[in-house]
């Protein structure tokens, strides 16, 4: 056990505790605290600056500076030494402040006579709430113990302010958690919604940051850590041996749980006056702060593990479970740091939207959100620290923007947009049973993309002719082991039943890249999108693909069946996959099972190379479906996951449309049916231009069918084609401006 010294921090904390226990309004308490700190540390000045909004700090209390400057002096993040402490969330300790880079006087405070400066961030879990400063006339550096003492006090302040102890008087804090905050994330599933925040894992609230009896706290900490270790060992022994990734995480948990350094640091914090839970949280804050700066992805992951482990330890100490009994609000929008696919499926369609702090466009959660057709915004930095259960939230999945606690003006504009969308949906319903026939008499067949049994009910109401892409990954991603053949066959049969005789195109397992199965050994690849994925895995490790093909044949049980293979890049991959399927057909026949009445074997064209495949490929394929999401990323060499580059290249870029036209020609040559099933097919303008380039079959999310059909029925493709040709001849980069102009002219 670390030696208990009556350190600066302990003395200061016990005085602080006494002060906090006294009655008083927020401002009075802040004033008493600054007085107490200055007195304890022997400095002339102690000031508390709090964040008024995302980029402005305000002086909220001071001992030693001019009292008139309280609630008057403000500075931007990064401005002066105080602003720099807040911006970098780092301590500044200097004996000669004027010589420090960035130094700036605030004349109204009268601080020019103070030479020494110690500023520490008031932070909670890496989020800066303000700055605590002491200053003195005498040129002196502050000792490590003094710095530590001030940091601990700042942490206690962060807890107290979070608890609302000062809210009401401290203008800065009352502004927090009431103000409108906008998050610019990335769009992972389109759609817009208004709802109320429902936190997936509400944070643990530390109500008692300071403790009187360090011995008792040490006993609590050790008991909780023991309990944690036992639970981690149990999780490890229960984890499936094949699940390398989960085991790796649990091993990291175990390593940290047994780490003497981690325990020692927390024990030291306790002997300096913190309660056990505050000590855990202090360590967690340090890990979070490091997480933001560590460039190495592996190390960042491990710091995440430590963060998760700290959360678990906090929950043991405070008995605050994940389930806090908070009622799910009406129109819930789930807010989380990240979420697994199974957990998201558990919430299911009750959710109106999902906002994640992390995540990626191709993550499992994104795949589920796409299948559930709920708007999803990812990379909404700090939303879990800002959002409170029940807050009003507007999610714009089309733009990747989230408004938390929106101002009335913003909420009203957003509601107008929702109302317009609802009115449009009504209009679309009226053309549901009408064909997508253009003014020039061309019929375009519209299909829906699906990935869950739960998607199928939307087939009749969407007006889709069938399912153009059934992604089969989800059943694999949401289980802890490979699903069994019987289980899959039953599910595929239910999908076909629900489609009621309409065509369903099943795509075989498309994993690898970022879609790693929980029970698959992760391979460390420098460029996963260009790596061992989809059909490449299917052909190299044939067991799972065989089992899936058998399940599909059994599910069809004599009905028509359409299967397509993803990510075919050259002829032999298609011939091999096709041969394997035909071998399974023979095997089924030998076993006396019913064979599909009609079997279509198709390929997804997702790499430019396939467009240049030998003619034989086009003859052999019963149909081809362009996977535009991948094709576009490889055509422009722009990662579909990378927000910085993915919007840079317009789908209506003349080169891309010309490329699509070439694919259309190649398929026309061999009479091979061609479709397009990437997200762009669901965007009306894009869909119209694809049709103008000769595509006759499009597959999209169900909600897009109405808008796409509505536009197609109002255009003449020949006219559009003329417009595109003209833009092409004029050397335009994209045909979008010309098309938009044309629509504007037509009103
Ligand atoms: C595509 O790439 O366009 C596609 C439909 O497949 P996924 O989005 O599942 O990669
Ligand atoms: Mg794809």
The predicted-structure confidence for 355-400, as pLDDT tens digits, reads as follows 998 877 766 677 778 777 789 999 898 888 788 888 999 999 988 9
Mutate to test the pocket of ligand 1, among 366, 529, 606, 686 (most ligand atoms within 8 A of CB): 606
pLDDT above 60: residue 58? yes
* pLDDT tens digits for range 81-92: 999 999 888 899
Q: Which atom of ligand 1 is nearest to the CA of 626?
A: 3
- What's the average model confidence in pLDDT over 461-490? 88
272, pLDDT greater than 70: yes
Which of 370, 529, 630, 660 to mutate for ligand 1's pocket (most ligand atoms within 8 Å of CB)?
630
Distance CA 96, CA 352 (A): 55
Topology at the third CATH level for domain 214-318: Enzyme I; Chain A, domain 2 (1.10.274)
Candidates 311, 319, 314; CA nearest to 384 is 311
pLDDT classification of 321: cutoffs 50, 70, 90: low
Q: Is residue 167 pLDDT above 50, yes or no?
A: no
| CATH number of this structure's domain 3-175 | 3.30.450.40
For residue 183 the two structure tokens come to 């998050």
**Separation CA 160–CA 502 (nearest Å):** 61
pLDDT-wise least confident of 97-111, 384-398, 580-594, 668-682: 97-111
Mean pLDDT, range 228-235, rounded to an integer: 86
Higher pLDDT, 235 or 576: 576
Test site for ligand 1: of 471, 603, 681, most ligand atoms within 8 A of the Cβ: 471
Mean pLDDT of the 138-155 span: 86
Helical H runs in 132-271? 144-162, 171-175, 214-238, 244-257, 260-271
Q: Which atom of ligand 1 is nearest to the CA of 367?
A: 9
Catalytic one of 128, 667, 677, 689: 677
Question: Which pLDDT value is given to residue 346?
Answer: 76
Mutate which of 510, 512, 602, 683 for ligand 1? The one with the most ligand atoms within 8 Å of its CB, which is: 510
Residue 649 has pLDDT above 70, yes or no: yes
CA distance 10 to 32: 18
Q: How many CB atoms lie within 10 A of CB 497?
A: 13
- Domains of the chain by residue range: 3-175, 181-202+329-420, 214-318, 436-746
3-state secondary structure of 137: coil
Taking CA atoms only, the protein residue closest to ligand 1 atom 6 is 627
Quote the tokens at residue 610.
């396939």
- What is the sign of the dihedral through the CA atoms of 469, 471, 472 and 475? negative
Catalytic residue (choose from 364, 403, 447, 689): 364
Which atom of ligand 1 is nearest the CA belonging to 473? 9
| pLDDT band at 292; cut points 50, 70, 90 | low
**pLDDT at site 591:** 96
CB neighbourhood size of 578 (10 A): 19
In terms of DSSP H, where are the helices of 654-701?
A: 654-670, 684-692
How much is the average pLDDT of 573-593?
98
Distance (Å, rounded) from C-alpha 129 to C-alpha 307?
A: 20
The residues facing 134 across adjacent strands are 46, 118
> Closest by alpha carbon to 596, among 622, 571, 620?
622
- Dihedrals phi, psi of 123, to nearest 5 degrees: -135, 150
Please give the pLDDT value at position 425. 84
Enumerate residues with CB within 5 Å of ligand 2 (an ion): 606, 627, 630
Query: Kind of pairing, strands 181-184 and 186-189?
Result: unpaired
At residue 427, does pLDDT exceed 70?
Answer: yes
Quick one: pLDDT at residue 669? 98
Q: Find the mean pLDDT for residues 335-361.
A: 83
Integer Cα distance of 487 and 11 in angstroms: 65
- pLDDT level of residue 174 (50, 70, 90 thresholds): very low
Q: Which ligand is nearest to the CA of 681?
A: 1
Residue 679's contacts (CB-CB under 8 Å, 6 or more residues apart) are: 190, 628, 629, 700, 701
With a pLDDT cut of 70, the percent of the chain lying above it is 89
**CA-closest candidate to residue 170, choices 19, 84, 343, 50:** 50
Report CA(549)–ligand 1 centroid distance (Å).
Answer: 20
pLDDT (mean) for 8-20: 77
Q: What is the pTM of this model?
A: 0.67
Residues 41 and 9: their CA atoms lie apart, in Å, by 10
208, 277 Cβ separation under 8 angstroms: yes
Q: What is the pLDDT of residue 168?
A: 35
Coil, helix or strand at residue 460: helix
- Ligand 1 midpoint to CA 672 (Å): 20
Residue 732 to residue 134: CA distance in whole angstroms: 62
Range with the poorest average pLDDT among 50-54, 297-301, 390-394, 708-712: 297-301
Burial 667-685 (b: 16+ CB within 10 A, else e): beeeebebbbbbbbbbbbb
Residue 451 pLDDT greater than 90, yes or no: no
Residue whose pair of structure tokens reads 């074997």 in the numeric block: 601
State the DSSP string of 340-394: -HHHHHHHGGG-SEEEESS--TTSHHHHHHHHHT--EEE--TTHHHH--TT-EEE
Q: What is the phi/psi pair of residue 190, to 5°?
A: -70, 165
Which of the two residues, 54 and 661, has the higher pLDDT score?
661
In the reported structure, the alpha carbon of residue 628 is separated from the centroid of ligand 1 by a whole-number distance in angstroms of 7
Mean pLDDT computed over 169-180: 53
Are 245 and 298 in contact, with CB atoms under 8 Å apart? Answer: no
Q: Whose structure tokens read 């006494």?
A: 18
Fold (topology level) of 181-202+329-420:
Glucose Oxidase; domain 1 (3.50.30)
3-state secondary structure of 182: strand
Q: What is the pLDDT of residue 27?
A: 80
Nearest ligand to the CA of 676 is 1
Q: State in Å: Cα 377 to ligand 2 middle.
A: 20
Distance CA 186, CA 381 (A): 10
Rounded to whole angstroms, the Cα distance separating 658 from 246 reads 45
**The token pair that represents 675 in the structure block:** 């479709």
Cα–Cα distance for residue pair 61/70, rounded to 1 Å: 6
- Known catalytic membership, residue 677: yes
- Closest ligand 1 atom, CA of 606? 2
Q: How far apart are CA 186 and CA 563, in angstroms?
A: 32
180 is annotated as an active-site residue: no
In angstroms, rounded to a whole number, what is the distance separating the alpha carbons of residues 107 and 109?
5
Structure tokens at 323: 């389930």
**In what order do the strands lie in the sheet containing 376-378?**
181-184, 401-404, 392-396, 192-199, 332-336, 353-356, 376-378, 186-189
137: Cα within 13 Å, side-chain hemisphere: 5
How far from 588 is each of 221, 485, 489, 550, 595, CA to CA, in Å? 61, 14, 13, 8, 7
User: Is 708 in a helix, a strand, or coil?
Assistant: helix
**Nearest residue CA, atom 1 of ligand 1?**
627
Protein residues with CB under 6 Å of any ligand 1 atom: 469, 471, 510, 606, 627-630, 677-678
- Which range of 29-38, 259-268, 596-605 scores highest in mean pLDDT? It is 596-605
CA distance 555 to 495: 9
What mean pLDDT comes out for the span 424-431? 88
CA 721 to chain centre: 39
Range among 25-29, 222-226, 411-415, 619-623 with highest mean pLDDT value: 619-623
Distance in Å, CA 364 to ligand 1 centroid: 13
Average pLDDT of the chain, as a whole number: 86
At residue 261, the pLDDT reads 85
User: What is the crossing angle of helices 276-293 and 260-271, to 10°?
Assistant: 130
Task: Report the pLDDT value the prediction gives residue 670, as an integer from 0 to 100.
Answer: 98
Residue identifier of the C-alpha nearest atom 8 of ligand 1? 629
Distance between first and last Cα of the chain: 79
Find out whether 477 and 341 touch, Cβ atoms under 8 Å. Answer: yes
CATH of range 436-746; options 3.40.630.30, 3.20.20.60, 3.40.50.2300, 3.40.50.300: 3.20.20.60
| Angle of CA points 668, 679, 520, to nearest 5° | 105
**What is the distance in A from the centroid of ligand 2 to the CA of 383?**
30
Lowest average pLDDT, out of 79-93, 515-529, 538-552, 607-621, goes to 515-529
Mean pLDDT over 175-187 rounds to: 77
Establish how many alpha carbons lie within 13 A of residue 240's alpha carbon, considering only the half-sphere containing its beta carbon.
12
Q: Which pLDDT score is estimated for 518?
A: 64
Within 13 Å, how many C-alpha atoms sit on residue 249's CB side? 15
Q: Which residue has the tokens 């802040």?
A: 30
What's the CA gap between 446 and 458, in Å, rounded?
A: 14
Residue 435 has a pLDDT of: 96
For the CA of 627, the closest atom of ligand 1 is 3
pLDDT at 148 over 70: yes
510 CA: nearest ligand 1 atom: 9
CA of 604 to the centre of ligand 1 (A): 9
């Amino acid at each position: 056990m670390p030696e208990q010294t009556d350190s600066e921090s302990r003395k200061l904390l016990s005085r602080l505790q006494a002060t906090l226990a006294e009655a008083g309004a927020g401002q009075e308490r802040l004033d008493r605290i600054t007085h107490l700190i200055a007195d304890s540390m022997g400095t002339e000045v102690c000031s508390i600056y709090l964040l008024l909004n995302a980029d402005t700090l305000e002086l909220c209390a001071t001992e030693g500076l001019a009292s008139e400057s309280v609630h008057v002096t403000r500075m931007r993040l990064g401005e002066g030494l105080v602003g720099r402490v807040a911006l970098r969330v780092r301590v500044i300790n200097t004996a000669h402040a004027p010589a420090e880079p960035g130094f700036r006087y605030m004349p109204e405070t009268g601080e020019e006579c103070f030479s020494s400066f110690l500023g520490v961030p008031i932070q909670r879990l890496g989020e800066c709430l303000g700055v605590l400063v002491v200053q003195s006339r005498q040129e002196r550096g502050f000792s490590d113990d003094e710095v530590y003492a001030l940091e601990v006090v700042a942490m206690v302040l962060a807890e107290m302010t979070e608890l609302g102890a000062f809210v009401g008087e401290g203008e800065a804090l009352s502004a927090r958690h009431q103000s409108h905050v906008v998050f610019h994330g990335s769009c992972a599933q389109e759609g817009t919604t208004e709802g109320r925040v429902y936190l997936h894992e509400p944070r643990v609230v530390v109500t008692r940051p300071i403790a009187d009896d360090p011995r008792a706290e040490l006993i609590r900490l050790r008991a909780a850590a023991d309990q944690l270790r036992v639970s981690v060992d149990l999780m490890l022994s229960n984890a499936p041996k094949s699940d390398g990734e989960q085991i790796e995480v649990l091993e990291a948990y175990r390593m940290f749980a047994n780490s003497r350094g981690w325990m020692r640091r927390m024990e030291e914090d306790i002997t300096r006056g913190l309660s056990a839970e505050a000590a855990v949280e202090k360590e967690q804050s340090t890990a979070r702060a490091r997480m933001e700066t560590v460039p190495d992805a592996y190390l960042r992951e491990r710091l995440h593990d430590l963060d998760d482990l700290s959360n678990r330890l906090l929950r043991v100490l405070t008995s605050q479970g994940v389930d806090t009994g908070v009622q799910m609000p009406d129109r819930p929008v789930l807010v989380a740091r990240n979420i697994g696919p199974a957990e998201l499926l558990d919430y299911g369609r009750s959710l109106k939207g999902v906002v994640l702090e992390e995540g990626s466009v191709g993550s499992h959660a994104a795949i589920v959100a796409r299948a559930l057709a709920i708007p999803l915004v990812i990379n909404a930095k700090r939303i879990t620290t800002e959002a409170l259960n029940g807050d009003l939230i507007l999610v714009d999945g089309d733009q990747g923007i989230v408004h938390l606690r929106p101002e009335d003006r913003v909420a009203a504009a957003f509601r107008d947009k929702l109302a317009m969308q609802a009115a449009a949906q009504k209009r679309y319903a009226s053309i549901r049973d009408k064909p997508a026939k253009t003014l020039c008499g061309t019929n375009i067949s519209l299909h829906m993309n699906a990935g869950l049994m739960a998607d199928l009910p939307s087939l009749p109401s969407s007006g889709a002719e069938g399912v153009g892409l059934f992604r089969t990954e989800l059943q694999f991603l949401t289980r802890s082991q490979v699903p069994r053949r019987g289980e899959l066959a039953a599910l595929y049969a239910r999908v076909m039943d629900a489609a009621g005789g309409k065509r369903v195109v099943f795509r075989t397992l498309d994993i690898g890249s970022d879609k790693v199965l929980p029970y698959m050994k992760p391979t460390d690849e420098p460029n996963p999108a260009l790596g061992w994925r989809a059909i490449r895995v299917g052909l190299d490790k044939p067991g799972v693909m065989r089992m899936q093909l058998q399940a599909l044949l059994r599910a069809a049980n004599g009905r028509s069946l359409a299967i397509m293979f993803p990510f075919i890049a050259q002829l032999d991959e298609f011939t091999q996959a096709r041969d394997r399927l035909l071998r399974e057909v023979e095997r089924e026949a030998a076993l006396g099972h019913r064979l599909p009445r009609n079997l279509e074997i198709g390929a997804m064209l997702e790499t430019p190379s396939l467009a240049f495949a030998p003619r034989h490929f086009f003859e052999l394929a019963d149909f081809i479906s362009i996977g535009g999401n991948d094709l576009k990323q490889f055509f422009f060499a722009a990662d579909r996951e990378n927000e910085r580059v993915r919007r840079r290249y317009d789908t209506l870029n003349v080169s891309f449309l010309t490329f699509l036209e070439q694919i259309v020609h190649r398929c026309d040559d061999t009479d091979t049916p061609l479709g397009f099933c990437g997200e762009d097919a669901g965007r009306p303008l894009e869909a119209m231009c694809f049709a103008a380039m000769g595509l006759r079959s499009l597959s999209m999310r169900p909600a897009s069918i109405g808008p796409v059909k509505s536009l197609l029925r109002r255009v003449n493709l020949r006219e559009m084609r003329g417009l595109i040709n003209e833009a092409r001849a004029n050397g335009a980069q994209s045909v979008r401006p010309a098309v938009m102009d044309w629509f504007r002219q037509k009103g």
